């Protein structure tokens, strides 16, 4: 590690001019999002950065894609630098130059505080903050093992933002400075009074079918296999049910989608499971649904469950597994039903129970909507985040 810092010193021996077109009356928050594939963490970053009021956002990510497209549409400045995973052997040869490139962009942007959007971005952010002599914040979005605290330098940041009390527990045990700030949902985008699901239902020829929606990244830890196996049981009880799996796989699990499609065929429900891929009209997808599910496994280390608050914002009842931070989002028996992880029978029973009882679904949906307004409104999330920046900058 010492050789890396020596190399950095040589790279950074001359000051760089600051000519980024920045506003002089707002401090700049520099966000690091290494993984470019769009998912919950980039979505949270986009929502936060695009709604900042007292600060100017500047974002670095590894490549252009859905995140940069959304940032550009919202008028948020960004640039790209190829950033590999910190602890991968292939990362180290290029690391000094990578950090130099990130530093150069952050320096030009007049960075006042560094915000690492995930655990994996933290070492980059710590080095950058030390070079710039500014505070650094890390956002932790999944439950984690204690050993990762030192591996990813969480003990070197000024403050850690945890998305739930479950995520905060190991930080609390380690005595690290942290604050719980729940993810927020944009109630202007997810507006159940304005957004209609009619076009979606027409697109997929749903007619009078009951639509169960499973949104989010298609990943082996997210319970898609269990959802399909449960669906085979559900359709025997409620024949007009259709399951829509919305999302895409990572490059590492490129074959998973075909595996899931084959599983649906073998279970005899190939025509009752829709694979939509990634969608840009998620509010309409939720509006079209009768029920939203999230059957994540314990191995997902689920810190929160963003898709649940999106569904609740659209007035939908939910069924989810009792793992990680999910019980802080879904009130079991009030806004939805919680079931054990990997329990296909329990998942199927909960889905059937709510599909057969429209009145209860609607009541849970209403309570879920009120819960979102109380705890998970994006406006509150942004205000709390800006509060953290202010505390660190004024310390």
Task: Tell me if 332 sits within 8 A of 359, measured CB to CB.
Answer: no
Which pLDDT score is estimated for 250? 76
Give me the CATH topology for the region 198-375. Answer: Rossmann fold (3.40.50)
As a whole number of angstroms, the distance between CA 254 and CA 259 comes to: 10
Which pLDDT score is estimated for 8? 45
Tell me how far CA of residue 1 lies from CA of 127, 196, 328, in angstroms.
Answer: 11, 54, 40
pLDDT digits (tens, 9 = 90+) for 296-337: 999 889 999 999 999 999 999 999 999 999 999 999 999 999
pLDDT digits (tens, 9 = 90+) for 251-302: 778 899 999 999 999 999 999 999 999 898 999 999 999 999 999 999 889 9
Which pLDDT score is estimated for 14? 36
SS3 181: coil
Show contacts of 204-207: CB within 8 Å, 24+ apart. Answer: 204/242, 204/244, 204/274, 204/276, 206/242, 206/288
Query: Taking the model in full, what pTM does it have?
Result: 0.89
Q: Which CATH architecture has domain 2-184+377-393?
A: 3-Layer(aba) Sandwich (3.40)
Every domain of the chain with CATH number 3.40.50.2000 lies at 2-184+377-393, 198-375
Q: Where are the alpha helices (DSSP H) in the chain?
A: 2-11, 40-51, 66-74, 95-108, 122-132, 148-151, 165-173, 198-203, 224-237, 256-266, 282-288, 306-313, 326-329, 344-355, 358-375, 378-393
Under DSSP, the state recorded for 252 is G
Which pLDDT score is estimated for 281? 95
Q: Which residues of the chain have pLDDT under 50?
A: 1-23
Which pLDDT score is estimated for 249? 86
pLDDT digits (tens, 9 = 90+) for 82-98: 988 776 767 778 888 99
């Amino acid at each position: 590690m010492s050789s890396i810092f020596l190399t950095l010193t040589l790279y950074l021996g001359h000051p760089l001019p600051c000519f980024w077109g920045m506003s002089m009356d707002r401090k700049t928050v520099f966000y690091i999002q290494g993984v470019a594939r769009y998912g919950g963490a980039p979505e949270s970053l986009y929502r936060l950065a695009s709604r900042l009021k007292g600060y100017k956002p500047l974002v670095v990510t590894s490549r252009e894609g859905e995140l940069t497209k959304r940032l550009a549409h919202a008028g948020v400045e960004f640039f790209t630098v190829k950033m590999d995973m910190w602890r991968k052997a292939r990362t180290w040869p290029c690391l000094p130059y990578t950090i130099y490139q990130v530093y150069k962009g952050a320096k030009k942007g007049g960075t006042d505080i560094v915000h690492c959007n995930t655990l994996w971005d933290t070492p980059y952010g710590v080095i950058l903050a030390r070079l710039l002599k500014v505070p650094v914040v890390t956002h932790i979005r999944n439950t984690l093992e204690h050993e990762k605290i030192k591996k990813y330098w969480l003990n070197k940041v000024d403050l850690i933002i945890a998305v739930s009390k479950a995520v905060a527990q190991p930080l609390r045990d380690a005595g690290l400075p942290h604050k719980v700030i729940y993810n927020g949902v944009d109630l202007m985008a997810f507006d159940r009074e304005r957004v209609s699901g009619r076009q979606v239902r027409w697109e997929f020829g749903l007619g009078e079918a009951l639509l169960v929606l499973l949104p989010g990244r298609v990943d082996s830890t997210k319970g898609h296999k269990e959802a399909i196996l449960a669906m085979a049981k559900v359709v025997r009880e409620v024949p007009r049910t259709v399951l829509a799996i919305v999302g895409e796989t990572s490059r590492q699990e490129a074959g998973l989608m075909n595996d899931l499609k084959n599983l649906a065929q073998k279970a005899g429900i190939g025509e009752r499971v829709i694979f939509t891929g990634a969608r840009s009209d998620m509010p309409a997808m939720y509006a079209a649904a009768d029920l939203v599910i999230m059957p994540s496994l314990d191995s997902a280390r689920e810190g929160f469950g963003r898709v649940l608050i999106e569904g609740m914002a659209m007035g939908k009842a939910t069924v989810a597994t009792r793992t990680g931070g999910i019980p802080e989002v879904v009130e079991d028996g009030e806004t939805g039903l919680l079931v054990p992880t990997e329990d296909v029978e329990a998942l199927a029973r909960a889905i059937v129970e709510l599909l057969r009882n429209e009145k209860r679904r609607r009541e849970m949906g209403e309570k879920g909507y009120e819960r979102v307004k109380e705890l998970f409104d994006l406006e509150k999330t942004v205000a709390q985040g800006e509060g953290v920046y202010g505390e660190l900058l004024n310390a």
